[in-house]
Structures are given as C-alpha cells and as structure tokens.
Amino acid sequence: MRDEWMIRGRVPMTKEEVRAVSVSKLELSPDSVLWDIGAGTGSVSVEASFFLTEGQVFAVEKKPEALELIEKNKEKFGRENITVVAGEAPQALEGLPAPTHAFLGGASGHMDEIIGLLLRKNKKVRVTANIISLESLSELLACLKKRQIEAEIVSMQTARSRLAAGHHLMMGQNPVYIISFGGEESPWAEEYS
C-alpha cells in the first residue's frame, strides 16, 4: 500500500517497501491476533488488517498525535478489526488478548520487558521488529542472546527515483533492520513429496 494513501501528519511512518517486507515476515494467517506495538500512523496495522479476515489487530501507541492518526486511518480504510489502544508498552499490553503475532515498530527502550511479556503471553508468538538505530539493534540482539532465540536478521536499503530534467535520479532511503523470530511451524515448511 502506497505511503501517500495513508494519513500521516508529522508522525514518522514505516516506508512502503519496508512495510511490505515486514508484514510478509510476520507470516500472518487469516485468524491471527496481531499486536502492533508503537503503531505510529497505523500503517502496518492497516496493511496487516487486510490479511486478517477473521483476526484482529491491536494498535498500541502512547502519543496523542499518533493515536489520532491511527483512528483516522482506521476510518479511511474501513478497518473494523483494528482496536486502538492508548498507552505505553509493556503496561498497556497486559489486558489484551494473547497475541499470535507482534510487530515492534519503534525503538522503545523497553524491548526486553516487551519481549518477555510477549513470550509469557504466547511462547510461540511470531515477532517482527523494525530497527533503525544501532543502539536499538544492540539492545535487541542482547535480548535475543539472553533468551537463546535465533532470529532472522535482514538489512534493507532502497532508493526511489526522482525525475529531474528527464533523468531518473535515485534518492537513497535510510537502511532498516528487519528482525524476525518465533512462530508456529508453518504447514508449508515440510518437504513436499
């Protein structure tokens, strides 16, 4: 889904290419329960919600400005399966239905507690995180090592064309780490014969 379709304000938003890869890495099923933690504009919640024909998204966000945008995007895209949750993780997460999937969109400084909570709620939870600062990368790697979790780490850098005097100039975007772990065994993982 294009970035410009989203109502954005001045809240930072996951770029569409990173969002597409991140939602893909979540490996959602139609009945998944996704926690979108640090939901920002809600763009990941919206895109993921289209897969969840029988499931739900809980979009958790603390900033009032962002909460308003999530509500607006929920309405614009008509996503009744998104529940907006105001508050800070991990506290705001405690009362929610157990997640099958979680997306961590923003460096929080509470990564260890959040991952601890996710695993307590569902030890087979599938988690995908977007990491943009090197300190958050260190923090997440330390969390995973402590718990002996093996994650898939993908770094991704894109560039987008801008047309100037009939020439396509490629404009570099910021690199992102997309880190994923956990999840139920996929029915497609087995050898086919």
Under the rule (CB under 8 A), what is the footprint of a second copy? 1-2, 4-5, 7, 16-17, 19-21, 23-25, 27, 72, 76-77, 107, 132-138, 141-142, 150-161, 163-164, 166-175, 186, 188-189, 192
Q: Which is nearer to a second copy, 91 or 157 (CB)?
A: 157
Q: Which is nearer to a second copy, 123 or 148 (CB)?
A: 148
Report the nearest approach of a second copy to the CB of residue 152 (Å): 7
Tell me phi and psi for residue 26, to 5 degrees: -65, -25
Q: Which is nearer to a second copy, 11 or 93 (CB)?
A: 11
Report the nearest approach of a second copy to the CB of residue 12 (Å): 11
In angstroms, the CA 179 to CA 153 distance is 5
**Residue for token digits 């399966």?**
81
Using DSSP's 3-state secondary structure scheme, residue 52 falls into: coil
Report the nearest approach of a second copy to the CB of residue 158 (Å): 5
Report the nearest approach of a second copy to the CB of residue 33 (Å): 19
With CA atoms as reference, report the closest residue to 112 among 77, 79, 74, 142.
142
Question: Pairing state of beta strands 56-61 and 33-37?
Answer: parallel
Q: Which is nearer to a second copy, 95 or 165 (CB)?
A: 165
Q: Which is nearer to a second copy, 56 or 73 (CB)?
A: 73
- CA triple 133-36-124, angle to 5 deg: 95
Asked whether 35 and 99 are in contact (CB, 8 A), the reply is yes
